[in-house]
Structure 1
Amino acid sequence: MKEKVLFIYLMVWILAGCTYAPLPKQNGNAGTEKKITKEVIQEGVKTFLLIGVDSRGEEKSRSDAIILAKYFPEQEKLKLASIMRDSYVKIPGDKSAYNKINAAYYYGGKELLKKTIQENLDVKVDHVAVIDFQGFVKMVDLLAPEGVVVDVDQEIIDDMSIQASVGKNVLHGEEILKYVRFRHDDESDFGRVERQQEVLVQLKSAFINQISSFEGIAALPSIIEQGLSYLNTDIGVKTIMEMGPEAVFHTPDTVETLRIPVEGSYKDEIYPHTGAVLEMDYTKNKKALQEFFTK
C-alpha cells in the first residue's frame, strides 16, 4: 500500500482565539436571566477541525491528519482529539458506503469530512482550517521561529534523512515535517499521532511566548495575516482580531489529548476496497469524545 503522509498542521492562535465565545451577559432581569452553569459555558465553546492534507499543491488529496480542538477559557484548558486516518466510517454519499475517514476529504473536501465526523461521531464542527505540506513548514517557522525541541532516535534519522543527532534536537519547519511524517516503526500511525500532538503542544507554547511581550502583541495582526495565507479556513482576520485578546489573557495552562478510536474500542480488519482499516465500536468512541469534551 502506498504510504500516506500523516503530519501535523495547526493554527494555534485560531485555536486559542476563535474557539472561544463570550459567556451570555446577564441583563439584570431575574425572569429572563440565564444562569451561568457548566452547560452554559459549554455552549460558548466552539469546536475547531484541523485538517492536514498529504499534498504539495495537488488538486486532489486525502486528509491524513485530523484533529478536533476545543479551548475552554474558564478552565484555561485546551483539548485535542486526533482521529486516526484509517478509522472505518460511513461516508455520506460514498458508493461503497464505508471507507477510511481520510477518503472523505478526497471525495468531498472539508464539508464532506465535517459531515462524516458529525454523522459517525456526533460532533458538530463550527470552524475548519486546512493546511498542506508547504503551509505546514511555513507555519512552524512562523509560530516557532527559534525551533521546536524534539527527541529523535536513530531510526527516525535514517528513515527520514533528518539532519540531527540522537537525542534532544532543535528542529525547524522542513525537519519537523519529516519528524511527524515518520511511521516505519512498531507504533506506525499511532506513534505519528503522538508526535503530531507533541509538536502541536510545543507550537502552542512557542506562539504564546512570542506574543507575550508588548512588541509581540503589536506584531499580532501581521502574524495572523501571514498565517492565514498558509491556510484554507472559514475564519477571517477581523474575526480573529475581535476575539484574539482572549488568546493572550486566557492562554491554556493544560493541554489534554485523546486518540480516536480509543484503546479497546477497535479491531484491525482488511477489506478489498480499502485495505487495512481500524473497525471501531461507534458507541464507545462517541461516549469517549462526549466525556472528553464535556468534563
Structure 2
Amino acid sequence: MKEKVLYIYLLVLILAGCTYAPLPKQNGNTGTEKNFTNERIQDGEKTFLLIGVDSRGEKKSRSDAIMLARYFPEQGKLKLASIMRDSYVKIPGVHPQYNKINAAYYYGGKELLKKTIHDSFGIKVDHVAVIDFQGFVKMVDLLAPDGVVVDVDQTIIDDMSIQASTGKNVLHGEEILKYVRFRHDDESDFGRVDRQQDVLLQLKNGFINQISSFEGVVALPGIIEQGLSYLDTDIGLKTILEMGPKAVIHAPETVETLRIPVEGSFKDAEYPEIGAVLEMDETKNKRALQKFFSK
C-alpha cells in the first residue's frame, strides 16, 4: 500500500504567541465555531498536538504525521517533536493492546491519541489541530504563496511523479504534499519525518514574512479565518486573533527538533496482526521526550 503522510500548519500564529496571550480552554469548540469561553487566561507554556491524517475526506483514517510542539517565550525557542507513526505503544481500551501509535487515531480519534501519548510518554496535550490531504494542500498555498524551497532527487521525482528537476526547486501545495509523503528510499519514514519538519519550518517563515508588513497585518484576520477552515481544532478564531500581533513580535528565534524513538532506543519487529513496527525502549524514549520539553 502506498504510504501517505502530511502534517501542518497555522502553527506559527498559535505557538509564537501562546505564552504572551495563553489560550483558554474551549470545551471542544472547533476553529469555525463562534461560541467562545470567557475563562480567565492563565500563564504557562502550552503543548500542541499536530496531526496529519491519511484522508481526503473519509470518516476514518490513521494519523500518519504526529507532532508535538511547545514554545518557550523567555528563551524565544520553539520545540517540535515528531513521533514515528510505526512506534509500538500500548493503546488504552483496544485490541490488541499494543499497536502502532497511528492506530490510536483510527480507533478513537484525537482524544484516544492524546491519552496514548500521555500514558506512553507522560506528556499532557493542551490543544490539538488535525489536517487532512486537502487541507494540507490549501494550507501550504495560503501560508507560502510563493512556494517552498526543497531539494529533490530523481528517486523522489520518479516515485511520486513530482513536476520538478533534480536539486533545489520551488514547489507548491500538491507537489509539496507528494514531497512530504515520500518514504521509498533507504531512510524510509525517518527521512520522511525530517522532510515534514523542514517544510513546517518553511511554512512558519513564509507566514511570518506575509504578516510582517502593514498590509500583512491588515490581512491577518482573513488569513487566520481561512486557515482555520482547513483544520479541525479546539482553538477558536477569537483567541488567535487576539494574539495575532504578538506572534509577529515574538516569533521564535530558534527551533529545536526531536524524533521519537530516539537513536539507539528501538529495534525493527513484526507482529502478525499489525505488521512491521518500531519496538521502543519505553523508559528511554519517555525520558528523552520529557527532557526535550523541559526548559
TM-score, normalised on structure 2?
0.91
Provide the C-alpha distance between the structure 2 equivalents of 1:104 and 1:62, rounded to a whole number of angstroms: 8
C-alpha contact 1:267 1:280 (8 A) present in aligned 2: yes
SS at match of 1:255: strand
* 2:19 alignment counterpart: 20
- Is 1:4 the counterpart of 2:3? The answer is yes
Matched, 1:120 2:120: yes
Answering whether residue 143 of structure 2 is matched by residue 143 of structure 1, we say yes
CA contact (8 A) 1:260 1:285 kept: yes
Q: Write the deviation string for residues 49-77 of structure 1: whole angstroms up to 9, x where unpaired.
A: 00000000011100000000011111111
Could you give the per-residue CA deviations for residues 60-100 of structure 1, whole angstroms, max 9, x where no partner exists? Answer: 10000000001111111111000000000000101211000
Structure 2 residue runs of 5 or longer lacking an equivalent are 23-42
Q: How many residues align?
A: 275
Amino acid in the other structure paired with 1:128: V
Q: Is the 8 A contact 2:54 2:61 kept in 1?
A: yes
Alignment RMSD (CA, Å): 1.3
**1 CA distance for matches of 2:266 and 2:75?**
31
Q: SS at the partner of 1:197?
A: helix
Deviation at 1:17, TM superposition (A): 4.5
Matching residue's letter, 1:117: I
| Contact 1:20–1:246 (Cα < 8 Å) also in 2 | no
Q: CA deviation at 1:246?
A: 2.0
Q: Distance in 2 between matches of 1:19 and 1:190?
A: 29
CA distances 1:124-181 after superposition (whole Å, capped 9, x unpaired): 0000000000000000000000000000101101111111111100000000000011
Provide the C-alpha distance between the structure 2 equivalents of 1:265 and 1:19, rounded to a whole number of angstroms. 32
Runs of 4+ in 1 over 4 A off after TM superposition: none
Between 1:164-173 and 1:235-244, the stretch displaced more is 235-244
Deviations 1:178-198 (A, max 9, x none): 001111100000000000001
Give the Cα–Cα distance (whole angstroms) in 2 for the partners of residues 198 and 71 of structure 1: 17
Partners in 2 of 1:212 and 1:18 — Cα distance? 15
Summarize the alignment of residues 49-88 of structure 1 with structure 2, pairs less than 5 Å apart: 49-88=49-88
Work out whether residues 63 and 105 of structure 1, in 8 Å CA contact, stay in contact via their aligned partners in 2: yes
The answer to whether the aligner puts 1:239 opposite 2:258 as a matched pair is no
Show the counterpart of 2:229.
229
Give TM-score scaled by structure 1 length: 0.91
> In the superposition, relative to structure 1, how do residues 78 and 17 fare at CA in structure 2: closer, same or farther (>3 Å)?
closer
Contact kept in structure 2, 1:48 and 1:69, CA below 8 Å? yes
For 2:89, the equivalent position in structure 1 comes to 89
SS in 1 for 2:293: helix
- Structure 1: 5+ residue runs without aligned partners? 24-42
